[in-house]
Chain A
Amino acid sequence: DTAVSQTPKYLVTQMGNDKSIKCEQNLGHDTMYWYKQDSKKFLKIMFSYNNKELIINETVPNRFSPKSPDKAHLNLHINSLELGDSAVYFCASSPPGLAGSYHVDTQYFGPGTRLTVL
């Protein structure tokens, strides 16, 4: 019954490798996000997709490429991993805002994927 799920939960890999993190939500939401949380718990948005369309693409290296095969899935592929990519990556989703409002409603977060690059 998990609302937002991510796999894997832990990922340990060598520098230079390519890896993917998968995210799925069963809430029927239109919008999904990827966040990066560093060791100091600072949370930075990376990407946002709405109905499979990219709507936010913050300044992240182009080694990071999101892919949304359908509106329930948003995967994150990372090429040529670097030490600085070590972090916890969170997927999130949100429903449309209230009618007549532009506000993003509550975001629902996955459990996170702890990526360690050696």
Chain B
Amino acid sequence: GDSVTQMEGPVTLSEEAFLTINCTYTATGYPSLFWYVQYPGEGLQLLLKATKADDKGSNKGFEATYRKETTSFHLEKGSVQVSDSAVYFCALSDKFGNQFYFGTGTSLTVIP
């Protein structure tokens, strides 16, 4: 079945460091791919998405490119801030059903 695998955390970075959070997926067909962010004490919010191969989603300095050849959707940011500290979830939307598949989440802490 469909699934998402993302790198385990927690991840701790200094402010202005480069961030990569890896995400790979398994799916039949061509899913849509998402990154969600969950700030402490809040619900999940959409960070960015891509609906087809080679699409790049971007928002708030974060980027992720839908790579069909490597079945990946890695999240990157060139210079993280303390306010980026949160849990990040990779997710996919399958082609046939009404379901999302979430990764296990990666906790990011950015220290000044």
Q: Which A residues form the contact surface with B (CB < 8 A)? A: 4, 31, 40-43, 45, 48, 50, 55-56, 90, 92, 98, 102-112
Contacts and interface: CB of A to CB of B under 8 A. Distances in A.
B83 interface: no
A110 B42 CA distance: 8
Contacts of A98: 51
A48 B100 CA distance: 10
Q: Chain B interface: which size bin?
A: 20 to 34
Contacts, number: 62
Interface in B79-112: 87, 89, 93-100, 102, 104-105, 107
Contacts of B45: 109
Contacts of B105: 41-43
Given A43-B89, A112-B42, A112-B43, A55 B104 contact: no
Interface in B16-50: 31-32, 34, 36, 38, 42-46, 49
B95 to A, nearest CB: 5
Contacts of A56: 97-99
Given A104-B93, A109-B44, A43 B102 contact: yes
Contacts of B51: 98, 103
A106 B49 contact: yes
Given A41-B38, A41-B87, A109-B44, A103 B99 contact: no
